[in-house]
Chains A and B, each alone.
Chain A
Amino acid sequence: DIQMTQSPSSLSASEGDRVTITCRASQSISNYLNWYQQKPGKAPKFLIFAASSLQSGVPSRFSGSGSGTDFTLTISSLQPEDFATYFCQQSYSTPYSFGQGTKLEIK
């Protein structure tokens, strides 16, 4: 099974900041990497697929990059609604697996 490791586990930032979250796979997954945002009590929201493609309707301040084993999610200028937990997910092979999550909090 492929293990996904995110860092950091939590992050404090201010509105307007640029933040980057990292996700590492235990083996190469090409670009089969997806990112999700989850707010308390809600289902995750699909943000990015294929490592760098923005899902329809997602603001352009979100971007993704990487291939192979190392990936990043960047939010260019934090907005109040961006404070949430972010998960990466590999869809290279089943069982699909998720990172443990990065909680983005207001500083």
Chain B
Amino acid sequence: QLHLQELGPGPVKPSETLSLICTVSGGSISTSSYYWGWIRQPPGKGLEWIGSIYYSGNTDYNPSLKSRVTISVETSKTQFSLKLSSVTAADTAVYYCTRHGAAYGGIDYWGQGTLVTVSS
């Protein structure tokens, strides 16, 4: 059974960089059938797609965040990561790491989510 787990440092100060790692267990990250990505959900609000990465390293980002986002993958460690720079309070959210199919894009696996609070 595939399992995704987000790891992060906790609170982040405004203007700093948010960094999260997703560890994948129970399966390979180097598969041609899936993309790996990040989605966030501000408290009490809806879901926002941040971006995705293929095991080869090809990335696709939400244009609304593209200038601040970097997603990378370390296949040897079965991990992928998210960096979001110049954060503000508007970036406070639960961040989920995810897997979605290359064919239809449905998100079939989600991490449990980690709340990242941006506060001074």
> Residues on A close to B: CB < 8 A?
1, 32, 34, 36, 42-46, 49-50, 55, 87, 89, 91-92, 94-101
Contact = CB atoms under 8 A, between A and B. Distances in A.
A35 to B, nearest CB: 9
Nearest to A51: B104
B108 A96 contact: no
Given A95-B63, A95-B64, A101 B107 contact: no
B53 to A, nearest CB: 12
A44 B60 contact: no
A92 B100 CA distance: 13
A43 B82 CA distance: 18
B101 interface: yes
With most chain B CB atoms within 10 A of its CB, the pick from A43, A50, A87 is A43
